[in-house]
């Protein structure tokens, strides 16, 4: 196993010609995909990895400067694909990883046959003629709460992000992975994500994109999926699912897994 693979806890499962790369979002790790992986391993090679900063990675490897922009994560993704000698993959990116995959695909479109975006957003802040869902004041309060008492913030944020019942297994699971992050790293990652603005690069993304979105998501309003569809540089398709929350593959697998499998197996037809 190479240095990059080890640092990112890379796992390669299953067998098959086509390669699926699964990338998680903020506050989670590769365990986020536990409901999906069993459906893929018979037909595909499945690559799982953890983003640097996840609670499962070595905090000593987290470079605050490198990860102050999404490009740092995109370089990691490209390094993983190179180390595994992957020439083409279907990339499934959740939340921030939807944008990380998009950024990576601009410099190496040949490596991505398509990108499946789940709960992705190019910008979380509202702007003139753009609704991202948050005002700067909202984000400042969120960062302040994270900085003052991280454990209490996790307990409050997890049920809001996941949606549904506070006692649900999905809320407990997200709380666990969120709390596993080192608080200063979690705050830095949250600031990088929530203050990011990737709108200007969308037209450079030429790889086909499948945009999947929950009907109700605290972090990403439904209109954002349509914005992505209108502004991406290549072919794209949107499917709004009847799921609730920002981590629907964890909280509503019965709804989301069949949709995901369909988008993995079938390409956009012109």
Catalytic center residues? 95, 217, 246
Spatial strand order in the sheet of 19-23 = 11-13, 45-49, 19-23, 89-94, 112-118, 209-216, 236-244
Joined together, the tokens standing for residue 106 give: 């601009």
**Is the Cβ–Cβ distance between 143 and 188 less than 8 Å?**
no
**Is the Cβ–Cβ distance between 194 and 139 less than 8 Å?**
yes
Task: Give Rg (Cα) of the chain.
Answer: 17
Q: How far apart are CA 263 and CA 150, in angstroms?
A: 37
Joined together, the tokens standing for residue 73 give: 């994560």
Element (H, E) at 112: strand 112-118
**Is the Cβ–Cβ distance between 259 and 212 less than 8 Å?**
yes
Q: For the chain, how far is it from start to end, CA to CA, in angstroms?
A: 41
Burial of 110 (0-12, 13-18, 19+ CB in 10 A): exposed
């Amino acid at each position: 196993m190479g240095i990059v693979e080890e640092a990112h806890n890379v796992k390669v499962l299953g067998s098959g010609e086509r390669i699926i790369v699964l990338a998680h979002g903020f506050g989670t790790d590769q365990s986020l995909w536990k409901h999906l992986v069993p459906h893929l391993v018979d037909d595909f090679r499945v690559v799982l990895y953890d983003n640097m900063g996840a609670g499962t990675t070595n905090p000593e490897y987290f470079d605050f400067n490198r990860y102050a922009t999404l490009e740092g994560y995109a370089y990691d993704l490209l390094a993983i694909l190179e180390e595994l000698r992957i020439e083409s993959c279907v990339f499934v990116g959740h939340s921030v990883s939807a944008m990380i995959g998009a950024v990576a695909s601009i410099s190496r479109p040949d490596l991505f046959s398509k990108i499946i975006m789940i709960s992705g957003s190019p910008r979380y802040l509202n702007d003139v003629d753009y609704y991202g869902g948050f005002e700067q004041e909202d984000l400042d309060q969120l960062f302040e709460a994270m900085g003052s008492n991280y454990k209490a913030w996790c307990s409050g944020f997890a049920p809001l992000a996941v949606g549904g019942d506070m006692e649900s297994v999905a809320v407990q699971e997200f709380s666990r992975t969120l709390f596993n992050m080192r608080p200063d790293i979690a705050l830095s990652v949250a600031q990088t994500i929530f203050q990011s603005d990737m709108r200007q690069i969308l037209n450079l993304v030429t790889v086909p994109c499948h945009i999947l979105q929950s009907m109700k998501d605290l972090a990403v309003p439904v209109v954002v999926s349509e914005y992505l569809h209108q502004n991406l540089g290549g072919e794209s398709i949107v499917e709004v699912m009847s799921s609730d929350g920002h981590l629907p593959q964890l909280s509503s697998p019965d709804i989301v897994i069949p949709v995901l499998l369909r988008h993995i197996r079938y390409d956009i037809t012109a």
